[in-house]
Amino acid sequence: MADGSNRQTRITSSHWGAFEVDVENDHIVATRPFLCDPDPNGIPDILPAAVHHRSRVARPSIRCGWLEQRDPTGRGTDDFVELPWDEAFDIASQEIERIRQAYGNEAIYGGSYGWASAGRFHHAQSQVHRFLNCIGGYVASFGSYSTGCAQAIMPHVFGVNFLTYCYEHQDGWQTIHDNTETLVMFGGINPKNSKVSMGGVTEHETAGWLNRFVANEMHCINIGPQRTDAPDCCDWLPARPGSDTALMLALAYVLQIEGLSDTDFLDRYTVGFDRFLPYLMGYSDGQPKSPDWAAAICGVAPEKIFELARRMAKTRTLITVAWSLQRAEHGEQPYWMSAVLAAMLGQIGLPGCGVGYGYGAIGGVGKSLIGLRGMTFSQGENPVQAVIPVARIGDMLRYPGQTYDFNGKRNTYPDIRLIYWAGGNPYHHHQDLNALHDAWQKPDTIIVNEPWWTSTAKRADIVFPATTPYEREDIGRSNLDDYLFHMPQLIPPVGEARDDYSIFAGLAERMGVAPDFTEGKSAEDWIGTLYEEFRALAEDKGIEVPDLPTLKSENWVRLPILANGPNRTFLASFRVDPERSPLPTPSGKIEIFSDTIHSFGYDDCLGHPAWLPPSEWFGSANEKFPLHLVSPQPGDKLHSQFESALADVAGARPETLVMSPDNAAARGLSTGDLVRVFNARGSCRARLSVSDEIQSGVVALPTGAWFGDPGGNIDQDGNPNVLTRDVGTSRLGQGCSAHTALVEVSKLEG
């Protein structure tokens, strides 16, 4: 706390964990790791510079071309004028009302995807959704960029909600440690990604667990394009991106021809193997899915495939699949096929065995906790029925009135006139940003709440300056973490920033819905109400939570919710008695063939998993753009957050592109070179790093740079989404296909 000067130290929480913050003269001056974190990360190091950065939005701002003549075309190039809050509120509320009157609430897009900041009450998406519901609703979005495709396919296979499977039914690290002999990680398990977790992860333990696994003689194999996707202690089996389904099919083929497939398990617990087998063996299409066949696709030698299949059958094996595999065209297939492969091994439902998803993707997966939810600010009811798959926003703007398929339904894209975004940066997260820039000109009006002048804020018509968590009070807690934080207000709002709640309260007042939105409560009142509701829920489960004044004075507590054993409730009981504890699928069993999906008649997602080549990948033999681009999450930050301050660091931008030595030599490139990464959709700059830890033919450029100039100009800081393709994973999932893109790389002179 106080140290004699006016320096104060408090602890706060964030998506990347808890950390100490030093405040002096209303400024954040330093951050330090939280003492209970065994493996803290450096993400908060940039916070003092970022929070007080010149790129903060200081005052409500309106784009000149919109203010003067409602011209949508200057988005991204026009200047802004600053207005007092009252005037900006008047203009925004009148415009929202005009759109509602003229076109109805179906013309308002409020999907507002994005991670915003941690903190239970000031959750930007809950705030914007509640506000829009109070005025009659909005077009919402389904799923996430993280797991949209998996959320569509996996309920057909196991019957449960995919995220519930990831968070509640999979084994915890301890169970894996104690039981698993072979860990086969498609896409790795990367401690870099485990730095973050929605709402926060306090004890970062993924790297520690993997080291313990290997020390315990577990065989851990990372399968994928980058060695760095798992800690050094793990083995690496290089494989081409987008090809995992072929490799999994070949592993299944070996199990089948060598009599290693568990037919008793398949008979008792699955449905449809008999309809999948002709495809696997090639009776139905003339192509056996043999290791020789797969080797040409995935780049893994046939002997290695035989060896791995035998090992998987003879040891207690857990297959894990990174979320990245389904962020690609036909991303449904490796997800479904991994479940089929695990079913053929016959170990599903045994501790430390079977198949799991998203270990390492976020720090919370693998923590075994007694489920304890709560402290969610109610969004109310949305009277508007239209919902789009979240990653289809570009198509929605481009093709109003056009029909499209989605998971068995035929839907129509609404005609959007107004977009309201709070807590996300689509000009970081969406694919094919040059195309989005064109589609973005279509709506009459775009309103954004944002702390910083991000690439999205610059493309809005009305920008309201939002506070960061350090400028307001909140409660920090994640359902996947066992710590609870009071997040004190550390500094006054920067500039004239206001929290999202007060921004929406201001609009609600002008639109006559303040009583619905605020229920007469201040932010502080709401925090008290939500906290007491949470305490009561916890008490029902016998978990003691301190009262709010106590939490405020303690700053944080650890909740006694760590579970000792496995939490695989539903697959374990299904294994014990599949008749009494059926899965919530149509057959009650694991669906290797799905009559439901088959009935949709999709050629890009059949009734059983299959190898469907992506449109852009190694095998498409594209001479102009021969390199497969993967665009993983950035290790040093969360998506595009704090980007403006990070970009100030000398040499930090453009972003680093990783390339193999042979690919670099063929292009006369070496480490440190400034390069142009390009394809027909766009181009960006990058700084080259030549490394033998990436597979030949693949290049990796992390996400996170802000999108620069509109149009075809080269993106300066290296945003990979100028290169990625904006196409759904399939008619079933309609997820984002970020990892399906081909590029070429050349040296940038001067």
Using the contact rule CB under 6 A, the part of the chain among 221-229, 483-491, 560-568, 660-668 near ligand MGD is 221-229
Residues in the chain: 750
Residue 551's CB: how many other CB atoms inside 10 A? 18
Task: Kindly state the smallest distance separating residue 707's Cβ from Mo ion, in Å.
Answer: 18
Return the number of the residue (42 or 712) whose C-beta is nearest ligand MGD. Answer: 42
Return the number of the residue (16 or 556) whose C-beta is nearest ligand MGD. Answer: 16
Task: Please return the burial class of 686, using the count of CB atoms within 10 Å of its CB with bins 0-12, 13-18 and 19+.
Answer: buried
Determine which residue in the list 230, 422, 545, 605 makes contact with ligand MGD, applying CB under 6 A: 422
β-strand 682-690 against 656-659: which pairing, if any?
A: parallel
Determine which residue in the list 53, 122, 330, 477 makes contact with ligand MGD, applying CB under 6 A: 122
> Under the criterion CB under 6 A, does residue 325 sit at the interface with ligand MGD?
yes
Site for ligand MGD, residues 630 to 659, rule: CB under 6 A: 630-635, 638-641
CA-wise closest residue to 97 among 413, 511, 427: 511
Residue 335 annotated as catalytic = no
Determine which residue in the list 129, 227, 327, 589 makes contact with ligand MGD, applying CB under 6 A: 327
Q: Which strands make up the sheet holding 80-82, listed edge to edge? A: 80-82, 61-63, 462-465, 445-450, 418-422, 108-109
Kindly state the DSSP code that residue 302 receives in the 8-state scheme: H
Task: Kindly state the smallest distance separating residue 346's Cβ from ligand MGD, in Å.
Answer: 24
Task: Please return the burial class of 286, using the count of CB atoms within 10 Å of its CB with bins 0-12, 13-18 and 19+.
Answer: exposed
Read off φ and ψ for residue 306, nearest 5 degrees: -60, -45
- Give the span between the Cα atoms of 482 and 37, in whole angstroms: 12
From the list ligand MGD, Mo ion, none, partner contacted by residue 226 (C-beta under 5 to 8 A by kind): ligand MGD
Q: What are the start-end ranges of the E strands in 225-327? A: 235-238, 270-271, 317-321
CA-wise closest residue to 95 among 429, 418, 555: 418
Kindly state the DSSP code that residue 189 receives in the 8-state scheme: -
Number of residues that bind Mo ion (CB under 5 A): 1
Write the interaction track for ligand MGD spanning residues 329-358; mark x where CB under 6 A is met and - where it is not.
------------------------------
Using the contact rule CB under 6 A, the part of the chain among 19-27, 248-256, 425-433, 681-689 near ligand MGD is 425-433
> Under the criterion CB under 5 A, does residue 146 sit at the interface with Mo ion?
yes
Return the number of the residue (146 or 518) whose C-beta is nearest Mo ion. Answer: 146
Determine which residue in the list 432, 450, 482, 726 makes contact with ligand MGD, applying CB under 6 A: 450
Using the contact rule CB under 5 A, the part of the chain among 142-150, 170-178, 352-360, 662-670 near Mo ion is 142-150
> Under the criterion CB under 6 A, does residue 116 sit at the interface with ligand MGD?
yes
Write the interaction track for ligand MGD spanning residues 690-729; mark x where CB under 6 A is met and - where it is not.
----------x--x----------------xx--x-----
Return the number of the residue (146 or 585) whose C-beta is nearest Mo ion. Answer: 146
Residue 617 annotated as catalytic = no
Catalytic, out of 109, 113, 556, 611 = 113
Return the number of the residue (237 or 271) whose C-beta is nearest ligand MGD. Answer: 237
Catalytic, out of 66, 115, 165, 420 = 115
> 744: which strand partners?
678
Would residue 660 be called left, alpha or beta, if left means φ above 0 and alpha means ψ between -120 and 50 degrees? beta
- Give the span between the Cα atoms of 37 and 21, in whole angstroms: 15
Cis peptide bond prior to 654, omega within 30° of 0: yes
- Give the span between the Cα atoms of 536 and 109, in whole angstroms: 36
> Under the criterion CB under 6 A, does residue 192 sit at the interface with ligand MGD?
yes
- Give the span between the Cα atoms of 735 and 259, in whole angstroms: 36
Which positions touch ligand MGD (CB under 6 A)? 114-117, 122, 124, 145-146, 186-188, 190, 192-193, 195-196, 223-226, 229, 239, 241-242, 244, 322-325, 327-328, 361-362, 422-425, 428-429, 449-452, 454, 466, 500, 630-635, 638-641, 700, 703, 720-721, 724, 738-739
Active site residues: 113, 115
